[in-house]
Structure 1
Amino acid sequence: MINFAAERAAYRQLADLLREQIAAGQPGPGDLLPSMLRISQEAGVGLGTVRRALRVLRDEGLIVMERGYGARVVEQEQPTVVSVPRGGRVRVRMPTEADRRELEIAPGAMTAVIVVTVGGRLRGTYRADRVELVAK
C-alpha cells in the first residue's frame, strides 16, 4: 500500500501500484479501472492523489481517460525494433509539434523522441516509449 512516510510522493506510489496491476493483466487491455472513488478508498488516499496517479499512467500511454466512463487500459503495442548500423547516430529530444502530430503523442505528454541518422541522413524519428534500438 501507500507509505506516507516515504520520500516518494503518494500519487507516484499509487501509479506504481496500478502500473504493476496492469502489467499483471488485472485489469486487462480494454478493461475499465475501478472508479476513482473506489481506488481512493482502497488506497486510503484522496481523490486528488488518484487523479494525479491516473494522469501519470495516461501520460505513459497505459490508460485512456474517457469523460463519463472512467479510465480504460490500453492495448500495449510491441515496440518497433530499429537497427542502428555502425556509424549511425542516435539523438534523444523532446518532440516538436510536427512530431507530436505524426507520432500521435498527446499534448503535454512527457514522451521523448529518438532521431536516428546514418551518414548525416535521417533514418527515422521514433517515439522513445515505442522503440527498441539494436546495434548492428
Structure 2
Amino acid sequence: MRGRSSGPAVRYRAVADRLREQVATGEYPEGLPLPAEALLMREFAVSLMTVRRALALLREEGLIATQRGRAARVRARPKRRRIVLERGAVLVGRMPSPQERARLGIERGVPLLEIRRADGGVEQVDAETVEVVVEE
C-alpha cells in the first residue's frame, strides 16, 4: 500500500477491504484472532492509526469483535431464530444503549430490534440472532 498518493481515508478503507476479503475466504476463520496491530501495520505498510481505523470500521460492521488488550477476533455468525411479526405490530431497528447492550449481550456494532406489539408489549432482540417475517 505504500507509495500510493491516496489519503489516509482511502488507506484505512483499503486495509478494511483486504481484511474483509481475508475473512470471507477463510484465511481468518470465525472465532479466531486477527494478527496483532503491529503485524498488520507491517503487512499493509501503514500507520497504527490506519490499522485502528480499519479495525473500527470492521467492528462497526459486526465482522470483528475487539477488547482492550486483546487481538481483534473474527465474530462467529450466530444461528437465527424466526420471529413472526403479527398484524398491527411495529418493528423498530436502532443501536442499543450501553446498558441494553450489556443486558442483552449484544456486541458493539450490532443493532437492537424492538418489536412493538399491538397489545402494547415490547420485545427487544439482538438483530443478528433473529429473522423477522410478516404474518400473512
TM-score bin, normalised by smaller chain: 0.7 to 0.9
Q: Secondary structure of 1:70's match?
A: coil
Query: CA 1:84/1:7 → structure 2, altered by over 3 Å: closer, same or farther?
Result: farther
Distance 1:7 1:103, change over 3 A: same
Aligned to 2:111: 112
In the alignment, residue 29 of structure 1 is paired with which amino acid?
E
2:132 counterpart of 1:133: yes
Q: What does 1:79-118 align with in structure 2 at a 5 Å threshold?
A: 79-106=80-107, 109-118=108-117
SS of the aligned residue for 1:26 comes to coil
Q: Point out where structure 1 has 5 or more consecutive residues left out of the alignment.
A: none
Change (3 A) 1:71 1:77: same
Q: Counterpart of 2:93 in 1: which secondary structure?
A: strand
Structure 2 residue identity aligned to 1:52: R
Q: Which amino acid aligns with 1:135?
A: V
1:25-47 Cα offsets, whole Å, 9 max, x none, are 21112323223223222223212
Is contact 1:116–1:124 with CA below 8 Å preserved after alignment? yes
Percent identity among equivalent residues? 34
8 Å CA contact retained: 1:90, 1:115: yes
What is the alpha-carbon root mean square deviation over aligned residues? 3.0
Of 82-91 and 31-40, deviating more is 31-40
Aligned twin of 1:50: 51
Mapping of residues 42-81 of structure 1, within 5 Å: 42-65=43-66, 70-81=71-82
Point out where structure 2 has 5 or more consecutive residues left out of the alignment: none
2:97 and 2:118 map into 1 onto residues whose CA distance is 23
Tell me which moved more, 123-132 or 49-58: 123-132
Question: For the Cα contact (< 8 Å) 2:37–2:48, is it kept in 1?
Answer: yes
Bigger fraction of residues in strand: 1
Letter in 2 for 1:53: A
Aligned residues: 134
Q: Deviations over 1:73-95 (max 9, x none)?
A: 23221233322123221112332
